[in-house]
Amino acid sequence: MSGRVSTTDTTLVIRHIPDSDPASFQVVRLRDAKTSEPVRPPSPHGFPVEGRPNSDLVRELQWYLEAFLDYPFPPETDHADRVLKALKDWGEQTFEALFGNRSAGRMFEAATADDYSELRLQISSDDARVLAWPWEALRDPELGVLAHLCQIERRLNKVRDPQPLSASLPNDQVNILLVVARPYGERDVGFRSIARPLVELIEKEKLPAYVELLRPPTFDQLREHLRERPGFYHILHFDGHGAYSAEAHGTAEYTFQGPEGKLVFETENGQPDPITAEKLTALLKEHAVPGVVLNACQSAMVGEGADDPFSSVAAALLRSGMRSVVAMAYSLYVSGAQQFLPPFYRRLFEEGSMAGALRAGRQQMFRQDKRVCVRGKFPLQDWLLPVLYQQDPLNFSFAAEARKTFVPQLQSSRRS
């Protein structure tokens, strides 16, 4: 089994120039390290939104994705339209700044000459605020949003290369450890709302996957289980709650204080147990799994005032040795996750690329954009929520051959 996804002539790196203020970037072609001249695209921080003179695109985008559906009626529907217009303007202006000059424009044209789907954009930075920009909204005025057409991933510089893949990692199926944490009882999302569709997809389409459900969903049990089965799992899938906030907002049971990302596991008696990004890094470092899927709100969020790029859960897991981390930039509705996950996994088993799988899930969210709310269902452009942090990714292409004969199963891990 190959340990890496090969790079091609169609990979372009949007490299943030360290310590530049305002933030400056160069476009670098990975094949030959050809570099464009530095440019300064507009920052989403301070980018104007019509009718919101005391706010900016970053604040308004979070409102739109996390609070708009609490009251999707006039005049808030007009407010939402203005936010989406500002996002479109920012995406086009940033695209023009990056690729409008001669050198970067030629590299972009060459990379997309055959097929836009072959284009792979890497956002490279160690600045937490730059990593938090809504890069998925980059927009070619002629063809539309790049995130629907190509592969986009974020990449860190100040992180060591992951340890070599375990020789015992199977190549006849994709092993998934599923952690479903529901510590809020009757107030929580249904236990099987995400797990059941995933398992049914595997069984129905005979995907080469083995899913094991971690019980109980405590952090100590996760650590112990990974210690007992080293080099066995390809993917750790966390289905639960997450948060990142320097200030309290939202409903109290789902939000936490502190400028650091958290995932909420359960205690032994089923109570909430928020685990910080720092603890995740420290405790999972020796039990790194190549791929992580975080169906958890704000698991890729980086606060406006953050200085540490590892304050988000996604980036912290890269530091601990994970190679690919799919996470959510803002809070994700269950009805959005249910659209995203099936095509994500289906494409992963077909093509073997986390980035390509993410694009497939995002495309489905764009096509089926109605989310459950007080109006029944209402459109929400939440396709930019799933993001990918990636260093030296695992190639899952072995799964395509294994699919021909694999018979899926579901088991539950329990302590003796």
Quick one: pLDDT at residue 408? 52
83-88: average pLDDT: 98
| Token output for 395 | 């190639």
Quick one: pLDDT at residue 115? 84
Quick one: pLDDT at residue 314? 85
- Under a CB-based contact definition with an 8 Å cutoff, are residues 348 and 357 in contact? yes
Question: Buried b vs exposed e over 316-352: b needs ≥16 C-beta within 10 Å?
Answer: bbbbbbbbbbbbbbbbbbebbbbbbbbbbbbbbbbbb
Quick one: pLDDT at residue 370? 97
Specify the residue for token string 């100590």.
220
- Under a CB-based contact definition with an 8 Å cutoff, are residues 197 and 342 in contact? yes
Quick one: pLDDT at residue 191? 57
Give the Å distances, CA to CA, from 105 to 36, 117, 206, 274, 394.
9, 17, 43, 45, 30
| Token output for 312 | 């988000």
7-35: average pLDDT: 92
Q: What span, in angstroms and rounded, lies between the C-alpha atoms of 165 and 149?
A: 31
Quick one: pLDDT at residue 317? 85
Count of CB atoms situated within 10 Å of the CB of 369: 16
- Start-end of H helices in 5-101: 57-66, 76-99
pLDDT bin (cut points 50, 70, 90) of residue 281 is confident
Q: Would you say residue 343 has pLDDT above 90?
A: yes
- Residues in CB range of 282: below 8 A, 6 or more apart: 320
pLDDT bin (cut points 50, 70, 90) of residue 145 is very high
Count of CB atoms situated within 10 Å of the CB of 245: 18
What element of type H or E holds 139?
strand 139-140
Count of CB atoms situated within 10 Å of the CB of 410: 16
**Selection from 191, 218, 15 nearest residue 107 by Cα:** 15
- Under a CB-based contact definition with an 8 Å cutoff, are residues 125 and 131 in contact? yes
Q: What's the predicted TM-score (pTM) here?
A: 0.89
Quick one: pLDDT at residue 195? 76
pLDDT bin (cut points 50, 70, 90) of residue 313 is confident
Quick one: pLDDT at residue 409? 54
155-165: average pLDDT: 82
Per residue in 235-258, pLDDT (tens digit) is 999 988 887 654 433 333 334 334
Quick one: pLDDT at residue 253? 38
Which is more confidently placed, 130 or 184?
130
Q: Would you say residue 152 has pLDDT above 80?
A: yes
Quick one: pLDDT at residue 7? 54
Per residue in 42-54, pLDDT (tens digit) is 999 999 999 999 9
| Token output for 381 | 């452009």
Per residue in 380-396, pLDDT (tens digit) is 999 999 999 999 899 99
pLDDT bin (cut points 50, 70, 90) of residue 415 is very low
